[in-house]
Amino acid sequence: MDKTFWHAKWQRNEIGFHEPQPNALLIRHFPALHLSRGARVFVPLCGKSLDIHWLLAQGYQVVGCELSPLAVRQLFAELGLTPHVSTCGRVTRYMTGELCVFAGDIFDLTPDMMGRVDGVYDRAALIALPPALRDAYAAHLPALTRSAPQLLVCLDYDQSCRAGPPFSVDAAEVRQYYAALFNPVCLATVPVPGGLKGICPAREVVWHLIPIR
């Protein structure tokens, strides 16, 4: 799996991972971050998620990153927004009002490009990455966001049943990736109705990653 895999998914509109409504776990648990209206929330590997619509509607500023420019253009179109588009290093920045999305490789982003980040919402980033990239991502994300608190949603299932993505990331891995900088607190564990694509039982696990100051 590489960048070509994800570009092809969007080109063929094979986006079963795109939920048709804002994520219920986001709505239920985002208040745990205790962010005020106007806070700036980073959504990594955001696609054209309706979660962004919800965050904007709650009065937050949103900054996202998405590999596929097609997904980014669709996001702004579905929001009815016309962004200002500019080159920013090796990525392209789409920006308007309270929304800024970088199209390109998240590893090409820097803290200076990102600006202020008050919280992170990761529902589909960590679990989209194979093991070879997860360590690098888990180190890069706190560096990008200056260790802002996170709401992290993971899948936990028997990885031998399915190759992924999405990948299984259990509690031990979450602590392995983040415990040096955060106190990982499990907020909820919710069975996935029908299991993972009907193949095997699966659970969504919601984590609050509290920065260690």
Q: Is 153 within 8 Å of 122 (Cβ atoms)?
A: yes
> How many other C-beta atoms can be found within 10 angstroms of the C-beta atom of residue 185?
11
CA atoms within 13 A on the CB side of 79: 27
Q: Is 66 annotated as a binding-site member?
A: yes
With a CB cutoff of 8 Å and minimum separation 6, the contacts of 213 are: none
Beta-bridged to residue 207, according to DSSP, are 152, 186
Query: At 15, is the secondary structure helix, strand, or coil?
Result: coil
Helix (H) or strand (E) holding 123: none
Q: Is 75 annotated as a binding-site member?
A: no
For CA atoms 5, 81, 60, 191, give the dihedral sign. Answer: negative
Q: Is 88 within 8 Å of 110 (Cβ atoms)?
A: no
Question: One-letter amino acid identity for 208?
Answer: H
Q: Is 207 annotated as a binding-site member?
A: no
Tell me the binding residues for S-adenosyl-L-methionine: 10, 45, 66, 123
Tell me the binding residues: 10, 45, 66, 123
